[in-house]
Amino acid sequence: MISSKLPKVFYGGDYNPEQWDEATHQEDLRMFRQAGIDIATVNVFSWAKIQSDEITYHFEWLDQLIDSLYESDIFVCLATSTAAHPAWMATRYPDVLRVDADGRKRKFGGRHNSCPNSPTYRKYSEQMADQLAERYKNHPAILVWHVSNEYGGDCYCDNCAAAFRMWLKQKYGSLEELNRVWNTSFWGHTFYDWDEIVPPNNLSEHWGENHSSFQGISLDYARFNSDSMLDCYLLEYNAIKKHIPHAVITTNLMGFFKQLDYFKWAKHMDIVSWDSYPAANTPPSYTAMAHDLMRGLKDGQPFMLMEQTPSQQNWQAYNSLKRPGVMRLWSYQAVAHGADTVMFFQLRRSIGACEKFHGAVIEHAGHENTRVFREVAQLGNELGALGNTLLDATVHAKVAILFDWDNWWALEKSSGPSVALKYLDQVHKYYATLFRRNVQVDLISVDTDFQKYDLIIAPVLYMVKPGTAEKLEQFTERGGTFLTTFFSGIVNENDLVTTGGYPGKLRNLLGIWVEEIDALLPESHNRIILKEKVGVLEGEYKCGLLCDLLHSEGAEVLAEYGDDFYQGMPVLTRNRFGQGEAWYVATDPEEPFLDGLLGYICEQKGISSLLRAPAGIEATMRSKDGKSYLFVLNHNAQTQQYHLDDQKGKELISGKFLEGDISIEGYGFQVLELS
Amino acid sequence: MISSKLPKVFYGGDYNPEQWDEATHQEDLRMFRQAGIDIATVNVFSWAKIQSDEITYHFEWLDQLIDSLYESDIFVCLATSTAAHPAWMATRYPDVLRVDADGRKRKFGGRHNSCPNSPTYRKYSEQMADQLAERYKNHPAILVWHVSNEYGGDCYCDNCAAAFRMWLKQKYGSLEELNRVWNTSFWGHTFYDWDEIVPPNNLSEHWGENHSSFQGISLDYARFNSDSMLDCYLLEYNAIKKHIPHAVITTNLMGFFKQLDYFKWAKHMDIVSWDSYPAANTPPSYTAMAHDLMRGLKDGQPFMLMEQTPSQQNWQAYNSLKRPGVMRLWSYQAVAHGADTVMFFQLRRSIGACEKFHGAVIEHAGHENTRVFREVAQLGNELGALGNTLLDATVHAKVAILFDWDNWWALEKSSGPSVALKYLDQVHKYYATLFRRNVQVDLISVDTDFQKYDLIIAPVLYMVKPGTAEKLEQFTERGGTFLTTFFSGIVNENDLVTTGGYPGKLRNLLGIWVEEIDALLPESHNRIILKEKVGVLEGEYKCGLLCDLLHSEGAEVLAEYGDDFYQGMPVLTRNRFGQGEAWYVATDPEEPFLDGLLGYICEQKGISSLLRAPAGIEATMRSKDGKSYLFVLNHNAQTQQYHLDDQKGKELISGKFLEGDISIEGYGFQVLELS
Amino acid sequence: MISSKLPKVFYGGDYNPEQWDEATHQEDLRMFRQAGIDIATVNVFSWAKIQSDEITYHFEWLDQLIDSLYESDIFVCLATSTAAHPAWMATRYPDVLRVDADGRKRKFGGRHNSCPNSPTYRKYSEQMADQLAERYKNHPAILVWHVSNEYGGDCYCDNCAAAFRMWLKQKYGSLEELNRVWNTSFWGHTFYDWDEIVPPNNLSEHWGENHSSFQGISLDYARFNSDSMLDCYLLEYNAIKKHIPHAVITTNLMGFFKQLDYFKWAKHMDIVSWDSYPAANTPPSYTAMAHDLMRGLKDGQPFMLMEQTPSQQNWQAYNSLKRPGVMRLWSYQAVAHGADTVMFFQLRRSIGACEKFHGAVIEHAGHENTRVFREVAQLGNELGALGNTLLDATVHAKVAILFDWDNWWALEKSSGPSVALKYLDQVHKYYATLFRRNVQVDLISVDTDFQKYDLIIAPVLYMVKPGTAEKLEQFTERGGTFLTTFFSGIVNENDLVTTGGYPGKLRNLLGIWVEEIDALLPESHNRIILKEKVGVLEGEYKCGLLCDLLHSEGAEVLAEYGDDFYQGMPVLTRNRFGQGEAWYVATDPEEPFLDGLLGYICEQKGISSLLRAPAGIEATMRSKDGKSYLFVLNHNAQTQQYHLDDQKGKELISGKFLEGDISIEGYGFQVLELS
C-alpha cells in the first residue's frame, strides 16, 4: 500500500526545524541526503505555532518547510499537531485540561494533555486537521498523514462523566441491565438514575493503580476512555478524508500500551505505525512480540516503524547507548517482523526541554562525524540498495497467540488471587518459548479467523467473550491444537463469573473442572511430575504463582502436582476434541518445561523452526511474489555460527550466496532470498 | 446470653441472596441444611435496595427472605444495611461523602463511605434502623441485630471540623486549657478562637501516615473520630432498643483495628462480634491474641466470630487457600478463646465486583461436591453434636496484658525515637511468649479490675493515664507482679511529658530512673548480660531497637548492658514493692530471653502452663458449671504427640477418653471435658 | 565582627521559656551559668503570643525575658518570630497559606507555612520586625538579630503565579526572549501572553520529585522561589536596619539545602549562621564540607553554628544518642572550620508536640545531673577558658571546590542520562578525597576570585554560566590547575545545550571532545586503565555511573577505558593550558583512584597535607594575628596515635606542649597554637 508511494523502505523520522534557524535547516538537508533519508515527520507539536488564537493560522513556515524538504527529495509524513494544545487554549477554555485519577484539575503543561471529551479540543483539533488537509491536499511531498501523537492517558472531568453516561446508555439501554452486569446489588451500589454514575477513580471505586471495588464500571471506563480517544482520532481522520479520499492516515501506536484497545483502533487506520523503545535490558523476544502484535492489528499487513532512537533515550532510569550495530540490528528486526519503514525520533536533537538528552541522527555536535550518524548513514545506504525488494512481503505463521485488551484490563483489575499475576508476563513466556525455537507467530484477536492456524495459544484466557468458546471449539474440532492455562474461562465479557465450575465456557473443550485456585507466596513452589515422557519432558519441573486444583472430566492427565495437599492432582492435561486437541497448563511452569511442551506440540503438528541456531540468533521469514526471504539476526555481541539445513540463497546486503555453515558477526544481520 | 437464643454454637454467615434468583435461593437452603448451618447474616449492604429515595422503602423482599430462612430453620442475624449509602443519597446530599486526609472530597463508590458527622447520613441511617426494628421486632427468626458493618475510616470535612470543635469545647471548656494540653506555645500555634482549629491532616499538621507536628490535636482527632462513629452506632442502637428493649445488638469489630477504641465501644454492645482474617503467614499466636482482646472488651464475656473465610481471601497480596483442616482448626481456635459462634463471610460467592474471588461456603461451582463445602459440613455436624456444652463457658486467666488504644495512637504519632517502634509488635512479643508456654492470658484495659490477676504485663506503657499508676501500685503492693518495658511512663493522657525523670509516674513503682533513650540502627544490637542466673536465664542475650539508659533507685539489678558506652548499666530490674514486685525490661530482647524471663516469673508466681507440648500445639481452657474444658490445637501440618500430666477426660468430638500420651493429627483439634 | 560583641565563642542556643513557668525560668538561669552559657536565642516561634490580632501586640513578657537574661549575664540572639504565622491570621487571611506542588491549598498547621508572596504575610512580618527593632534597638543584651527561621519550602498559589510572571517580565523583557530560552517551540508550548504561564508543578510540567517536561520554567521557578523568600527576609532585614543601622542580622541556614541559593542570600546577611544536624551515620567529611560551604558563602568569614543537638534528634528514622564526647567533638569541628559560636537547639526540652524527643541541654529530668548536661558544662568551661583566642581566625586554602545552586537544580531536573547522578554525591567524593588527606578546602561560587587558589575542582560542571569558562581559562593560563568531570560544559545558564560538541565552553580549556555519554546500569562497571604511572596510580580501577566517550583534541591521555565498545578511549586527560593544566575525569571512579589522582596533583602543586594521620583523624588550620592554630579531631571511638613532623606547639585546652608522637583519645580534640 504505502509501497506505491515510494519504492523502498521509508527512512527518516521526526524533524522539528522550527526549533532552529534556516542555516541549520540547510545543513540538515545536506546531511539527510548523505544518510539516505527520504522522509521527515513534521508538525508533530506545532499547534501553538500554527494557531495563535481562535481564528488566526500561520501556515507559511510549514509551506516553506514542506517545499524545502520536497526540493531536497525528502518526502513528508505530515502530523496534525494536536497532541499538545496551545497555552492560550488552556487559559481561555479550561475544559481542554484533564482531571486526573485523583480528581485534580490539571494546569497547562506537558503533552497528551487534552481531555478527549472537551468540546473545545474536539472543535479545534478537527478544524486543524481540516485546514491542513485542505491546504496540503495536492502537495506531492506528503506520503502519509499522522494524526496527533501517541494517544494515551485518561481524564475524569465532568465532560467525561457526562459522555460516559451517554456511552453507557447506548451500550446497556436500561439501568436495570447496567445494574445487572455491574452486579451493583453487591455493596448496595444500585443506580436509580444515570446521573448517579460517576467515573471510577481514586475518589470513588479505585484504590491504588490496579484495584477497583467494581470491575464492571472500571472495565467499562477503560473501554470508554479508549473509545473517546478513538473518537478524537476519527474526527481528524474524517476531516482529512473529506479533502483527500485516498490519503494514507495513521497515528503512532506504542506496542503493548494498556490504555487503548488497538485492535479496535486499527480498524480505522489505513496503516499501523508504532514507536519502538526497548530498554537496554529488554529481551529481544519482547520487542519481537510487540512487532508481531502491531502486524497482527491489521491481520498481517506491513506496518510502519514510526519512531525509534538512533542511540539512547532520556526517560529511562539508566539511558545506555545502543551498542555499535544495535540500532541497525533492531531496525532490521522491525523489518523482519513486517515493518516497511525505518524511522527515528529525532532527526536533530533539541537543545532545551526534557528530550534534549534523547538521541538523534544529528547530535548536539551538529555534524556528521559521529558514530551515531555514521551508523545511520550506513543503514540508509543499505536500505537504498534493497529498494522495494521486501516491501509488502507477508509473514505466514501456523501458530497464533490470542491477545485481548479486555482480558488484560479485567484480569489486572480483579482483586485476587495474586498480585504477581500479570497478563503480559504470561503472554511473553509462551511467545519467548516459540521465539527461542524460531517458530513464526501471529498475535491475533478473538475476531481473527482461527482456521488458518495449526496451533492457538491463549495464556490466561480469564475472560471468554461471547462466541469465543464456540470459535475455539470449531477450530479444535477441525483438527487444530488449542492450549490455554490456569485462571482461564473465569468470567464473561462483563467480568461476571461463569458459574457451574471453572473454566466455564472452556470446560467442555478442555475436559476438566477446576475446583479451586491456590496462590503461592513469592518464594514458594510446587512441582510438575510427568507421568510419562512427553517429547523430551520427563521427571519433574518447578512451578509457582497460581496452581489450579483440577479434576479431569475426560482429559488425559500427562502430569500431576508433586507437593502440598493437591499432590497427585492433574497439572497438565490434553483433551481430544473432534480432530484436534485442547491442552491445559494449570500453573506457571519454569522455562525448560515450556520449551519441552511447546517443542513437543510443534513437532506433533509439524510446525517447524525456521532455523536451528545458537541462543540469541533470531530468524523470521517474509514472502512476496513467490519468493521467501529468511531474516537472520544475531542478538549476541559475539560472532556466532549457524547451519542452513536445506535452505540456501543470496544474502541481499552482501550479495553473497549462503549455504551450509554460516558465520554471523555480533549484532549482525543477514537476509537471504531463498532459492 | 445469646445461648438463650439457640442452644448451640451458631453456625452460618453472611448471605446475600439479593444477588441471585429464587431457584438459587432454594438450592442454598438445601445445602445450608446439609451443612448444619442455622444462622444467616442478611441485609448487610442492601440500603439502596430497601430505600430508593428519601421516602420510599421496599421491605417485601426482606420479609420473604427472613420468612423463607425461618421456615428452613435458619435464624437471622439482621444487619441494618447502613455500611454503604445509596448512590442517590450521595448525588442529592453530598454531605454524606467523606473528605479524605488529603482534603479530597470523595465521590460515590466503595463502602465505609459515609461521613460520620453528616446530618444526612445520621438522619437516614437512624431512620433505617427504626424502620427495621419496628417491622421485625416480633419476628422469631431474628436472634441478633448487626448494626452497619466494620466501622472504620476517617473524614475531614467541614461538618467534622465543626463537630470536632464542639467535642473539644465539651472536653476542655476553655481555649486556655486546650492551648495548655496541646502545648500550642510550641511553634506559635496559640488559638484565640475555636474556629481557628482545623482537623489535623496532610494539609495541616500531618506528614506521612504516622507523623504529626502536634500530637495533642492528632490524638484528640483520633478520639473524636472513634467517638463520631460510635455516635452513629448509638443512633441505630437506640432506635432498635426503642422497639425491642431486649434485642441483642452488636456490630462486627476487626481485632486490632487502630482507628476505633473498642474498649469504649464495647460498653455499648450487647455482645462483641468480630471478623477474623489471618493471612497465610499470620502466626497462630497473633490470631489468639486478637481473640483474647475481643474477649477482654467485655471483661471475659463470650463473643461472636462473625466472619472468617471458609477457604481464601481476595484482598491479600497472595491469597493462598486454607489447607485442609485449617478452617476447622481456626474455627475451634476462636471457640477455644471464647467465641460462641462460628460464622463465615460468605455463604455463597458473588459473581461480580471485588469480592468474587473471596472464598464461600458455596463456591462458584454452585454445588456441594467441593472440598470447601465438605469441610464446612463436617464442622457443622460436629458443632451440632457439641450442642450447648461449651456455650457461655468462661476463661480464667491469672496473667493479663494491658492494652490501650490511646497509648497506641500516642506512641505511633510521636516523632522519635525510632520509626521501628510499633506497639503491636511489642504487645505480641510478650503475648507470644506466654502463648508458647500455653499460659492463659487476658487482654485488659486500664479500667479493668487488676486485682484478679497475679501478673500484669504492660509493654511500652508510654502513656500513663490518670489513676493508672496508682492502680498498678495498689496491685503490686498487694502482692501482684507487674512488668513493663522501655519507653514507658513518658507522657500523660495528653501526650505531655511527665517531667522530673522517666518513667514518670511509674518511677516510684519501678525504683529506677531512666536518664536517656538510645535508638539503634536496624542492624545494630547490644547485649543483655545476666549478673547471675534468673531461672534458666544465664550468660548473654541480644537486644536492640531502643535501649533505655537507666539508674537503679532501689530496684535490684539482674542484668546489665554488655556493650557501648552504657555497658554495665542496668537492663533488667526488679523492684520489691509492698508484697509484690515490679519488673523493668529496658530494651527489646530476643525471644529466648523473654521465654526465660516470663518462664521464671510464672514459676515464681505459680502460674502454670495448661499443657507442656511441642511447638505449635496450643492449649486453652474454658469452664462452665464446674467443669473444665481443655482445648488442644495442633497448628503444625504434621501429627504430633503430647503428654497429659495429671489431666484426663473425654474428648468431646471423638467421644474417646484421653490420658497420658496423646497423638493429635496435623491441623487437628481436641477438646477434653476434664474429669 | 561579632567578636566585638562578646570576646569569646558564643555559647548557648534556642530557648523557649514561654512554654514554662517563672520558677522553671529561674532554675534555667542557674543552670545556664553553671554550664557557661552566655547567649540565648529567643522569640523564634512566638508570633501568636506577641500578636493576638491585626493591631494588638504583647511585648511585656519579652521585655521581662530579655531583661531577666541580661541580668544573669546571658546575651540574646533575638528572633523575629515570623517562621510560623498565627492561627488567626490563617483563618482571616487565607492568602498566607501555601498551595503545595499538588495544587492543594494548605490549612493552618506546622511551620514554614507562609506563602512568600502573600501580601498579608509580607505586611505583618515586616511590621513585626519593625516593632521589635524599634522596641529593642537600645537593649544591650541583644548581640544578634535572627530573622525568621530556616527558610524553605515552596508555594504555587495564585499570588506566587502573578509574582512569578512579574519576575519573568523583569528578567526577560519580552515573551519572545522567554520563549527562546525555555525552548517552547518544543512540544508546542509557545506563550502568547504572560498570563498563560502557570507555575511548574505536579499539575503542569512536573512528574515525580525530579522530573520536569521543561527545565527552563522549572529552573526559573526554583530561582524565583529562592528570590521570593529572600525578599521576605529583606523586608525584615531592612525594617531592623532602619532602626539599628549597625545591627548584626542573620537567618539560620541549613548547609546543603537545595531550595535556596545561599550564595545569593549571603550577600544580604551580616553574618552567616547555620543549623548542623548530622545523622548518626553521616560521614565526618560531609559535615566538614557543609561547614566549609557555610564559610565560603561570605568568602571565608567566620560563621555562627546556630543550632545543633546536645544529644539526639527526633526526626530521623533512628535517633541515636551522640556518644560521650561526640557533641564536644562536633562542636569543635564547627570551630575548626570557621565557626565562632557553638549553639544548641534547645536549651530546655519541650514537653509537648513534635520536638519533645529532641535532645536539650536541660532534659525532661529538669536538673543538671545528666550526662548530657555535664558534657555541655564541660565544653562551656573549655570555651570560656579559650576566650577570644580563636575568634575571627581565618582559613587559608589553596584548593577550592566550585559549588553552584543553579548547576544543582538544572542537573537534577534534567531527564537523562541517569537517575543515579546526584550533584552532592559527586561533590562529596572529591571533597572526601581531600579530607582524607587533610588538605584544606574552600567551597566557592563561580563569582569568587579564583586567583588565590592553586587547584580548582568543579565536579560535574554541567552548567557553565556566562563568564565562568573565561574565568577558568584565565585561572589556568596563569598557572592554576583545573579539574572537572564527566557531564560538564553541557548547558548554558538557561539549561540550553551548547551545541558544536561537549564540553561546550570548556572544550578549549580541556582539549577534548566528548562525543557520547553512556549511562551504566547500577551493577555495571567499566575499568580505568592507566597508560603509565601517575603518582601512585597504576594498573586499573573500577568506574561506573556515566562514561563519557571522548576524543583528545590536544589533551594528554593518561588513562583509557578497559572495556566495552569504547575500550581504548581516553578516560583521564590533562591539557596544558598556558602556565597551568586542565584535567578531565570522564567517569565516576572508585575511591582509590581519586586518592591517587588528587594525591598526585596536590604533590605536583605543592599542596601539602596539614597532618599525616590514621584514618578518621581530621586536621584543619585557622590563623590570626600571625599565629596558626592546628585543630586535630579524632572521629574514631578509639585512642589513636599521630606524628607531628615539623610542627609543634601548645595544646590550648590541656595547656601541654605537644611535639613528635602524639596520642589522642577516642572522639578527642586538640588545638595547637603552633610555635
> For residues A419 and A363, is the Cβ–Cβ distance under 8 A?
no
Q: For cell 523430551, what's the residue?
A: A536
Q: For cell 486444583, what's the residue?
A: A549
Angstrom distance (rounded) from CA B269 to CA B240: 12
Residues from chain A contacting residue C184 (CB–CB below 8 Å) = 48
Determine how many CB atoms are found less than 10 A away from the CB of residue A192.
Answer: 16
Alpha carbon of residue B493 to chain centroid: 22
In this prediction, residue A1 carries a pLDDT of 60
Chain A and chain C share a number of CB contacts under 8 A equal to 183
Residue from the list A183, A417, A419 with its beta carbon closest to the beta carbon of B351: A183
Q: Which residues of B are catalytic?
A: 150, 307
DSSP A588: E
* Average pLDDT across chain A, whole number: 97
Angstrom distance (rounded) from CA A40 to CA A38: 7
Tens of pLDDT along C98-132?
Answer: 999 999 999 999 998 999 999 999 999 999 999 99
Angstrom distance (rounded) from CA C652 to CA C632: 12
ipTM of the prediction: 0.96
pLDDT at C368 over 90: yes
B352·A195 Cβ contact <8 A: no
- Per-residue pLDDT, averaged over C373-400, amounts to 97
Q: Where are the beta strands (DSSP E) in B506-613?
A: 512-519, 526-530, 540-552, 556-561, 570-577, 580-585, 587-589
pLDDT at A3 over 80: no
In this prediction, residue C4 carries a pLDDT of 80
C-alpha cell at C327: 557533641
Angstrom distance (rounded) from CA B452 to CA B471: 13
**Shortest CA distance to B112 belongs to which of B202, B53, B45, B50?**
B45
Half-sphere exposure of C626 (CA within 13 A, CB side): 1
Alpha helix segments (H runs only) across B488-577: 507-510
Angstrom distance (rounded) from CA A594 to CA A610: 19
Cα angle vertex A171, ends A167, A174, to 5°?
A: 105
pLDDT at B3 over 80: no
Angstrom distance (rounded) from CA B215 to CA B218: 5
Q: By CA distance, what is B148's nearest residue in A?
A: A187
- Per-residue pLDDT, averaged over A569-575, amounts to 98
Longest dimension (CA), chain C: 76
C353·B203 Cβ contact <8 A: no
Angstrom distance (rounded) from CA C545 to CA C525: 8
Q: What confidence tier does C3 reach under pLDDT thresholds 50, 70, 90? A: confident
The alpha carbon dihedral of C424, C427, C433, C436 has a sign of negative
- Per-residue pLDDT, averaged over B8-30, amounts to 96
Angstrom distance (rounded) from CA A28 to CA A361: 10
Residues from chain A contacting residue C216 (CB–CB below 8 Å) = 352-353
A53·C192 Cβ contact <8 A: yes
> For residues B280 and A417, is the Cβ–Cβ distance under 8 A?
no
Residue from the list C200, C204, C518 with its beta carbon closest to the beta carbon of A321: C518
B232 three-state secondary structure:
helix
- Per-residue pLDDT, averaged over A462-466, amounts to 98
Q: What is the DSSP string of C116-164?
A: TT-HHHHHHHHHHHHHHHHHHTT-TTEEEEE-SSS------SHHHHHHH
Q: What confidence tier does B488 reach under pLDDT thresholds 50, 70, 90? A: very high
In this prediction, residue A129 carries a pLDDT of 98
Contacts of residue B512, Cβ cutoff 8 Å, sequence gap at least 6: B503, B550, B551, B552, B553, B555, B570, B573, B575, B584
* Average pLDDT across chain C, whole number: 97
**Distance between A641 CA and the closest CA of chain B, angstroms:** 45
> For residues C635 and C618, is the Cβ–Cβ distance under 8 A?
yes
B188·C350 Cβ contact <8 A: no
pLDDT at A37 over 70: yes
Q: What are the CA-CA distances from residue B106 to residues B109, C348, C587 (Å)?
A: 8, 44, 50
Cα angle vertex B257, ends B256, B261, to 5°?
A: 100
- Per-residue pLDDT, averaged over A397-410, amounts to 98
pLDDT at A611 over 90: yes
Give me the residues paired with residue C644 across strands: C660
Residue from the list B103, B212, B565 with its beta carbon closest to the beta carbon of C354: B212
In this prediction, residue A118 carries a pLDDT of 98
In this prediction, residue B1 carries a pLDDT of 60
Tens of pLDDT along B299-346?
Answer: 999 999 999 999 999 999 999 999 999 999 999 999 999 999 999 999
> For residues C287 and C280, is the Cβ–Cβ distance under 8 A?
no
Residue from the list C195, C420, C500 with its beta carbon closest to the beta carbon of A366: C500
Chain A and chain B share a number of CB contacts under 8 A equal to 183
Angstrom distance (rounded) from CA A186 to CA B346: 12
Q: For cell 500530637, what's the residue?
A: B215
In this prediction, residue A5 carries a pLDDT of 78
Residues from chain B contacting residue C86 (CB–CB below 8 Å) = 188, 190, 192
Q: What pTM does this model have?
A: 0.97
A213·B353 Cβ contact <8 A: yes
Please list, residue by residue across C20-30, b when 16 or more beta carbons sit within 10 angstroms of its beta carbon and e when fewer do.
Answer: beeeebebbbe
Angstrom distance (rounded) from CA C521 to CA C187: 29
B418·C317 Cβ contact <8 A: yes
Half-sphere exposure of C631 (CA within 13 A, CB side): 25
Q: What are the CA-CA distances from residue C58 to residues A326, A382, C52, C68 (Å)?
A: 74, 85, 8, 17
Tens of pLDDT along A582-599?
Answer: 999 999 999 999 999 999
Interface test with C, best of B157, B164, B185 (most C CBs within 10 A): B185
Residues from chain B contacting residue C18 (CB–CB below 8 Å) = 185
pLDDT at C210 over 90: no
> For residues A343 and A307, is the Cβ–Cβ distance under 8 A?
yes
C497·A352 Cβ contact <8 A: yes
In this prediction, residue B7 carries a pLDDT of 87
DSSP H or E stretch at residue C171: helix C158-172
Interface test with B, best of A105, A156, A187 (most B CBs within 10 A): A187
Interface test with C, best of B415, B487, B494, B512 (most C CBs within 10 A): B415
Residues from chain A contacting residue B329 (CB–CB below 8 Å) = none
Tens of pLDDT along C195-207?
Answer: 999 999 999 999 8
C669 three-state secondary structure:
strand
Angstrom distance (rounded) from CA B17 to CA B362: 12
Q: What confidence tier does A208 reach under pLDDT thresholds 50, 70, 90? A: confident
Q: For cell 536538673, what's the residue?
A: C367
C-alpha cell at A332: 532490521
Please list, residue by residue across B87-97, b when 16 or more beta carbons sit within 10 angstroms of its beta carbon and e when fewer do.
Answer: bbbbbebbbbb
Q: For cell 580548582, what's the residue?
A: C456
A365·C513 Cβ contact <8 A: yes
Residues from chain B contacting residue A565 (CB–CB below 8 Å) = 323-324
HEC sequence for C7-56: CCCEEEEECCHHHCCHHHHHHHHHHHHHHCCCEEEECCCCHHHHECCCCC
C205·A110 Cβ contact <8 A: yes
Residues from chain B contacting residue C328 (CB–CB below 8 Å) = none
**Distance between B321 CA and the closest CA of chain A, angstroms:** 5
Tens of pLDDT along B188-218?
Answer: 999 999 999 999 999 999 987 778 999 999 9
> For residues B546 and B487, is the Cβ–Cβ distance under 8 A?
yes
C314·B521 Cβ contact <8 A: no
C545 three-state secondary structure:
strand
* Average pLDDT across chain B, whole number: 97
Residue from the list A81, A104, A350 with its beta carbon closest to the beta carbon of C188: A81
Residue from the list C86, C104, C356 with its beta carbon closest to the beta carbon of B190: C86
